[in-house]
Amino acid sequence: MQVERVEAGGDLLRITARTGDDAPVACPGCGQTADWVHSRYVRHVADETVGGRSVVIDLSVRRLYCENADCQKATFVEQVPGLTRRYQRRTPAAQTMVDAVAVALAGSAGARLLSVLHHALTWASVLNCLMRITLPDRPAPRVLGIDEFALRKGHHYATILVDAATGERIEVLPDRKAQTVTAWLQAHPGVEVVCRDGAGGFAQATTAADPTIVQVGDRWHLWHGLAETVLKEEAPTVPAGPRPAHR
Ligand SMILES: [Zn+2]
């Protein structure tokens, strides 16, 4: 990388740079090194802010020929480690920061914080970043908590799965249908205990997936059921007789 120019103006720092002319590059298709240059073009990559200024790197990169006759790629664009990734308009460091904000705040709030941090993104772009993050592949927990929650009360419900031992969120399923839960349990073997509400849906779903899974009522629903029953039983014992007079 050669830095050719650095210009600071207003709230923008613009860096003009180019990759070297001769360095051979490994083809991403076959791994064979190539140094026959097809052409150059300029990529605009946003980097982390410096001194309160947005940073844009205008980076001239090479398109190279792959000379391996067995390779699918006729040409490819070189990437600069730590600076460019295929199809990305941000450096990995800047993308990590944007992703962290997206995870914490999602669309609108994320966009507002990022504009303070000198990264202008629309809420839709922040959501796109959020949706592109690949989730870590977690093993199914031994004790799984299942419950429904309302996305819009009375209209649209989803199901949340948590590790009942640690409280860690595992997955959100798009509805509360038994077959959706069954399919998840079948795709994620290893659950030994399901902790659920008292209704029949999740019980059926669990039995359908694996009848050897032990099913227990979760604490919230046990207390809720107990409290409702006690209130019902207590209702007739309202004291009779004259009420105390108000002043
Ligand atoms: Zn190749």
Q: 24-51: per-residue pLDDT in tens?
A: 999 999 999 999 999 999 999 999 999 8
Q: Has residue 239 been placed in a domain?
A: no
Domain count for the chain, please give it: 3
Q: What pLDDT does residue 139 have?
A: 82
Place of tokens 């997955």: 171
CA of 69 to the centre of ligand 1 (A): 8
Fill in the amino acid letter for 8: A
Kindly give the pairing relationship between strand 12-18 and strand 2-9: antiparallel
**Same domain, yes or no: 55 and 117:** no
Mean pLDDT of the chain: 90
List of E strands, 51-155: 53-65, 75-77, 143-152
**Same domain, yes or no: 225 and 182:** yes
pTM summary value: 0.64
The CA distance from 73 to 55, in Å, is 33
**Same domain, yes or no: 180 and 118:** no
CA of 93 to the centre of ligand 1 (A): 28
**Same domain, yes or no: 76 and 153:** no
Q: Has residue 245 been placed in a domain?
A: no
Place of tokens 């409290």: 227
CA of 76 to the centre of ligand 1 (A): 8
CB contact burial 160-177 (16+ within 10 A = b; e otherwise) = ebbbbeeeeebeebeebe
Q: 146-156: per-residue pLDDT in tens?
A: 999 998 888 89
At CB < 8 A and 24+ separation, what contacts does 99-103 make? Answer: 99/129, 99/130, 99/133, 101/126, 102/126, 102/127, 102/129, 102/130, 102/133, 103/130, 103/133
Q: Has residue 240 been placed in a domain?
A: no
**Same domain, yes or no: 107 and 174:** no
Structural domain of 116: 90-134
CA of 63 to the centre of ligand 1 (A): 12
CA of 75 to the centre of ligand 1 (A): 8
Residues of the chain with pLDDT under 50: none
Task: List the CATH number of the domain containing 182.
Answer: 3.30.420.10
Q: What pLDDT does residue 219 have?
A: 87
**Same domain, yes or no: 150 and 228:** yes
Q: What pLDDT does residue 221 have?
A: 87
Q: Has residue 243 been placed in a domain?
A: no
- Burial of 52 per CB tally in 10 Å (0-12, 13-18, 19+): exposed
**Same domain, yes or no: 216 and 186:** yes
Q: Has residue 246 been placed in a domain?
A: no
CA of 221 to the centre of ligand 1 (A): 59
- Burial of 121 per CB tally in 10 Å (0-12, 13-18, 19+): buried
For ligand 1, an ion, list residues with CB under 5 A: 27, 29-30, 66, 68, 71, 73
